[in-house]
Structure 1
Amino acid sequence: MEPWLIWILAGLVLLGAELALPGAFLLWAGLAAIGTGLVWLVVSPGFPLSVVIFVGLMAAGVAVGLRRRRGPEPLRVNTPGSGLVGREGVVLATGLPGLRVRVGDSDWPAIALEGHPIVGDIIRVDGVEGTILQVRLTR
């Protein structure tokens, strides 16, 4: 059997295994093996150089895959701030433990970004830091 055919068949087996197993590592190994087989088909570089070609192609594929993963931070759906910013609520309590506000059907600790709200004031949520809402009066 020709070496180029062995490389291409090994690459196809690795791509098939990628479909059956979780992860993305076998994808790059399979594509690198197919690329090495195609180089063998054209040039016949010999085994030591073909291993170097395989490793180089695999490293390039992994680098491309890692670069693609970097991007904008995905929207976190189930975080406290995801649906609260911009909503209005009412001040429940002020005092030593801090400001408490009700937004929707939940009570939250809060920090007033400006002014000194009193019980019953209407506020708007400007941000969320951890589980503490950053609020402003809506006057």
Structure 2
Amino acid sequence: MLQSLASSLGPWSWWIFGLLLLAAELLVPGVFLIWIGASAIIVGALSLLFWEAGFWSWQLQFVLFAALAAVLALFGRRFYSNNRETDEPLLNRRGETLVGRTATLREPIREGRGRVHLDDTWWSVRGPDLPAGTQVRITSADGGKLSVEAV
């Protein structure tokens, strides 16, 4: 059924497939289907040129589509990578903004774990065993855990 539909539509079947993939990208955003849809549209454009040519078999079309999809997906991944420079390098990394600050232990550090209260948040801390009320300096952050040392 699909083969007869694709052969009756001719080169436009690639265009329809590409547009369906682009529409799916709108419904399920993730900047991935756009590259596969673009590959289908490129193969569709080439099919308009070569449809009557003897070498333009469905196998060649599929191999070209798969290769283009892989190349464009890799290009898209590189183009949209998260390694871009920003004027706010610590945005959404709140723990790292606290490095260097001092705080007072609200709960003692026992067996390497304790808690401090900074601004409006309670933070889990790691460090040497210290009693509550000790002034500590935050030396590093790993997710929601802060490493501290006595001041």
The TM-score bracket by the shorter chain reads 0.5 to 0.7
Give the direction of change, closer, same or farther, for the CA distance of 1:39–1:75 in structure 2 (3 Å limit): farther
Task: State the TM-score, normalizing by the size of structure 1.
Answer: 0.63
Q: Which of 58, 71, 89 lines up with 1:60 in the alignment? A: 71
Aligned equivalents of 2:111, 2:22: Cα separation in 1? 59
CA offsets, 1:17-58, max 9 Å, x none?
A: 221235455323311110101112233323221111111111
Q: Which SS does the other structure have where 2:148 is aligned?
A: strand
Give yes or no for the alignment of 1:128 onto 2:141.
yes
CA offsets, 1:48-106, max 9 Å, x none?
A: 2111111111121222244456544x968477x34432221135687864585744374
- Gaps (5+ residues) in structure 2? 1-7, 84-88
Partner residue, 1:10: 17
Give yes or no for the alignment of 1:49 onto 2:63.
no
Partner residue, 1:26: 33
- Gaps (5+ residues) in structure 1? none
Aligned equivalents of 2:91, 2:96: Cα separation in 1? 7
Seq. identity, %: 28
Please tell me the root mean square deviation across aligned C-alpha atoms, in Å.
3.9
Task: State the TM-score, normalizing by the size of structure 2.
Answer: 0.59
